[in-house]
């Protein structure tokens, strides 16, 4: 297979503490999960590409900001240990933030766009309608404009499916948010890996086609789940779920990698 991606690193960026119903619509209301927050670093012929950026720990560790952005909004503050810091994860691989020339955001919720401030030099690719929604008023508490409404960010607004480079495809998988996208990576040894983002948080979302807790368009969200399953099936690939607490324990975490 033709690919320009040589390595995939899974970065564990902390844990969110949430009702299971946030991930599975109307299911598991009695349960609180500690869901991992994942980002991914790709080593490619054209430099390092980061998919998502994790959480902004400054908001979690500052009492006033934590109160305003989390507690008051009814969101439990996440757990971010020092080793979960994005800069720490990158350093363990020997990569500095300035080495990352391209950031692809699956979407702009707080657990994916939290560290854009580290990448002002980079191209930041996001769907146009996701960006529009993030910058419009009344978008809801899961959108931390303080993390992305920053001067000097180099936005690259894309529409629909697109190819970042051979072996790195990005698919519009809207539904959970207005412009959610997922990333399909071709690796020489591992084969196809689908970074689903939050099209579905848990294995259950895909196995039983359960909608995410929150969606702006249920039909589109279900179509996105089915589309990703079909791609994985056709290419004999694996779905990499960024928030599944069981799957994360089976993955090779950075600084180990997939080739």
Q: Which residues contact 206 (CB under 8 A, 6 or more apart)?
A: 196, 200, 225, 228, 229, 239, 241
Task: Using the minimum distance from each CB to Zn ion, give the nearer residue, 111 or 147.
Answer: 111
Please give the torsion angle defined by the CA atoms of residues 218, 232, 1 and 44, in that order, rounded to the nearest 10 degrees.
60
Task: Using the minimum distance from each CB to Zn ion, give the nearer residue, 48 or 243.
Answer: 243
Minimum separation from the CB atom of position 111 to Zn ion (A): 4
DSSP state at residue 211: P
Task: Using the minimum distance from each CB to Zn ion, give the nearer residue, 78 or 167.
Answer: 78
DSSP state at residue 78: P
d(C-alpha 177, C-alpha 110), whole Å: 12
130 three-state secondary structure? helix
Task: Using the minimum distance from each CB to Zn ion, give the nearer residue, 106 or 125.
Answer: 106
Task: Using the minimum distance from each CB to Zn ion, give the nearer residue, 167 or 200.
Answer: 200
Minimum separation from the CB atom of position 242 to Zn ion (A): 7
Minimum separation from the CB atom of position 135 to Zn ion (A): 19
Contact residues toward Zn ion (CB under 5 A) are: 111, 198
Task: Using the minimum distance from each CB to Zn ion, give the nearer residue, 129 or 235.
Answer: 129
Minimum separation from the CB atom of position 243 to Zn ion (A): 6
Minimum separation from the CB atom of position 15 to Zn ion (A): 12
b/e sequence 206-237, b meaning 16+ C-beta within 10 Å: beeebbbbbbeeeebbbebbebbbebbeeeeb
Minimum separation from the CB atom of position 184 to Zn ion (A): 18
Phi and psi at residue 115, to the nearest 5°: -125, 30
């Amino acid at each position: 297979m033709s690919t320009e991606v040589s390595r995939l690193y899974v970065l564990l960026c902390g844990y969110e503490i949430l009702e299971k119903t946030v991930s599975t619509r109307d299911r598991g209301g009695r349960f609180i999960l500690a869901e991992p927050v994942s980002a991914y670093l790709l080593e490619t012929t054209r430099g390092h590409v980061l998919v998502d950026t994790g959480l902004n720990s400054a908001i979690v560790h500052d009492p006033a900001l934590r109160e305003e952005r989390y507690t008051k909004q009814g969101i439990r503050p996440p757990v971010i240990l020092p080793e979960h810091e994005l800069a720490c994860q990158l350093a363990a691989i020997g990569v500095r933030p300035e080495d990352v020339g391209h950031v692809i955001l699956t979407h702009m919720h707080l657990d994916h766009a939290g560290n854009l401030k580290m990448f002002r030099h980079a191209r930041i690719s996001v769907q146009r309608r996701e960006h529009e929604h993030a910058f419009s008023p009344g978008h809801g508490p899961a959108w931390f404009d303080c993390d992305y409404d920053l001067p000097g960010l180099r936005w690259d607004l894309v529409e629909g499916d697109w190819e970042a480079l051979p072996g790195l495809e990005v698919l519009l998988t809207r539904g959970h948010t207005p412009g959610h996208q997922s990333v399909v990576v071709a690796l020489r040894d591992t084969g196809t890996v689908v970074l689903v983002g939050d099209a579905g948080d848990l294995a259950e979302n895909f196995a039983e086609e359960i909608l995410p807790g929150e969606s702006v368009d249920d039909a589109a969200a279900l179509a996105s789940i089915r589309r990703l399953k079909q791609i994985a099936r056709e290419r004999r690939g694996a779905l990499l779920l960024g928030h599944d607490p069981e799957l994360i324990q089976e993955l090779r975490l950075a600084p180990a990698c997939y080739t």
